[in-house]
Structure 1
């Protein structure tokens, strides 16, 4: 019984290591072929000046997703089709072209001089963090649900 548990633990550890191994080389935007073309296009177009340090393919329950990490700490999570789920640029602005227009317009109107540093696409809408620390939740129709200051 103990030997079977030990074998199971070793296999689980090996699978975890293989599943999270880096998939791209440092200082380049070269991606493995398994990264969806849509995700590659977003990175190439909107993050061209940034250096990719890690690309991982992971599973969350039965859903596959990809995570791209850049040398400046920017992190993008893509679904299996290559559509972004989360973009976290820390203290830098998320590229405006990736922010839905109604959200961008709301931020520019109500928070001039402030920019979006993080955006998460969720089942019920979007969660946005601004450079001044304010967190705004939008529903699917881009109406504000909550503002945390």
Structure 2
């Protein structure tokens, strides 16, 4: 009888483990693709203002707000990716290798980059709770206060 109970117990534990793993996978991956019309008005205005000749290729709403505040992740037909908060404020704009449109980067930061890194392009900007991060085309990251004052640079 003991020989019979050990395999049954092992098999039961194995099945329970597999079931619990598959449920975890389903719950953790419940971000949903939505229509662009479902974005907050300010997010749609941002896209039409800075990317007027592009279309949405994918709009995703996260199942919960990420630590950086991102709720919506938007991919555009020109290769740009933009993350928005639940209110529709942009948090991150990533041009991959393309230069950011004028006006996204605060003027004081744009002026600093033009004066000190004239041969490089700004290809990404990320707003965080206490600073901006600017990605340059050579892989260098520049950090600024929210008031636009230069803090430091880091190699990516």
Scaled to the shorter chain, the TM-score interval is: 0.7 to 0.9
Distance 1:5 1:37, change over 3 A: farther
Q: State the alpha-carbon separation in 1 of the partners of residues 70 and 114 from structure 2.
A: 34
Cα distance per residue 1:53-107 (max 9 Å; x no partner): 111111226x561110123432111111111111100111111211111111111
SS of residue matched to 2:37? coil
The corresponding residue for 1:27 is none
Q: State the alpha-carbon separation in 1 of the partners of residues 147 and 82 from structure 2.
A: 23
TM-score (norm 2): 0.76
Q: State the alpha-carbon separation in 2 of the partners of residues 64 and 119 from structure 1.
A: 14
Unaligned runs of 5+ in 1: 25-30
SS of residue matched to 2:33? coil
Tell me which protein shows more helix as a share of its residues. 2
Q: State the alpha-carbon separation in 2 of the partners of residues 12 and 132 from structure 1.
A: 40
Unaligned runs of 5+ in 2: 1-11
Task: Tell me how far 1:4 sits from its aligned partner.
Answer: 7.5
Whether 1:131 and 2:137 are equivalent positions in the alignment is yes
The corresponding residue for 2:46 is 42
Task: Give the length in aligned residue pairs.
Answer: 141
The corresponding residue for 1:32 is 37
| C-alpha contact 2:42 2:87 (8 A) present in aligned 1 | yes
Distance 1:90 1:64, change over 3 A: closer
Task: Tell me how far 1:148 sits from its aligned partner.
Answer: 2.2
Tell me which protein shows more strand as a share of its residues. 1
Superposed CA RMSD in Å reads 2.5
Residue 32 (structure 2) aligned to one of 12, 16, 21: 21
Task: Tell me how far 1:11 sits from its aligned partner.
Answer: 4.8
